[in-house]
Amino acid sequence: MAVSSPEGQGQFPLPKILTYPSSTPPTLITQGAEGRVYKTTHLDPSRPCILKYRPPKPYRHAILDARLTKERITAEAHVLARCAREGVPVPAVYATDPRAGWMMIEYIDGVPVRQAINEFLGKRPETDQEKVAAEETDNVPLIELLRRIGATVGGLHGTGNVHGDLTTSNMMLRPFSTTIAAEGSKARMVEGDVVLIDFGLATQSSSEEDRAVDLYVLERAFASTHPRAEKLFQHVLDAYEKSFKKAGAALAKLEDVRRRGRKKSMLG
């Protein structure tokens, strides 16, 4: 029996690799969608890194579970390595053990983009979407972040890979090395480089369809996560369009994918 306390955290058995001595004890950062994410100094005391562990899923048929875990860790490590080579901002891969279900990657010292956007939006008084779009000047820092997201996703697609699970939870905001905005200002909250993480569902693909689905997933995740900024999403797509040669074709396909999406909620 692993855990089932109300808090859940902290009571999971550590994966074996983390039971070896290291300068500081590993800490469970989050129980993500698929795995547990630990911060550890296992490799070197001055180099914090992330250990992403995918424990067996008790609900899944054992054969299916083993297949998916292995596939995903391998895919994640491959795509991360390829992205790093091509200059897409992603954490570096340090080590993997697909059969044991873990991967060790670079620690990104920042917050998830979801959190940054929500903090930024949270500072304004309760307001409706129209107003968010109307007060354009207030939104400049947010819009700039959205443009960086679009450009980064375009960069990824340009390397012939798709992410498979684009949400604002799967992007980290790494503070610029020299900050621009004033200390404590709202703009500071959304400042930083967008670093893509969580490539477990990523695949090698240059098809317009796959790229469009990637964008569609992001568009909907964005709308449901940040309903108040939904109207600003177009800025992501605008920046995406300029980011690589085939972007226009993917955006045209996005229209198709959206239409399919609307059509399908037909039956009760």
Active site members: 165
Of 165, 169, 185, 193, the C-alpha closest to 117 is 169
Residues of span 140-169 touching another protein by CB under 8 A: 164-167, 169
Q: Which residues contact 22 (CB under 8 A, 6 or more apart)?
A: 40, 41, 42, 45
How many helical (H) and strand (E) elements, i.e. helices and strands, does the chain have? 8, 10
Sole binder of ligand ADP in the list 33, 134, 223, 252 (CB under 6 A): 33
Alpha-helical segments (H) within 126-242: 129-134, 140-158, 186-189, 208-225, 234-241
Out of 40, 168, 170, 243, name the contact with Mg ion by CB under 5 A.
170
Which residue of 20, 21, 46, 58 would you call a contact of another protein, by CB under 8 A? 58
Segment (H or E) for 82: helix 62-85
**Judged by CB under 8 A, how many residues of this single chain contact another protein?**
49
CA end-to-end span of the chain: 39
63 binds another protein (CB under 8 A): yes
**Partner in contact with 29, chosen from ligand ADP, Mg ion, another protein, none, beta carbon below 5 to 8 Å by kind:** ligand ADP
Helix, strand and coil in the chain, % to nearest 5: 45, 15, 40
Binding segment for Mg ion (CB under 5 A), chosen from 125-133, 152-160, 163-171, 181-189, is 163-171
1 binds another protein (CB under 8 A): yes
Q: Which of ligand ADP, Mg ion, another protein, none has residue 108 at its interface (CB below 5 to 8 Å by kind)?
A: ligand ADP
CB of 171 to Mg ion, least distance (A): 10
Q: Look-up: residue for tokens 């795995």?
A: 35
- What are the residues binding Mg ion (CB under 5 A)? 32-33, 170, 198
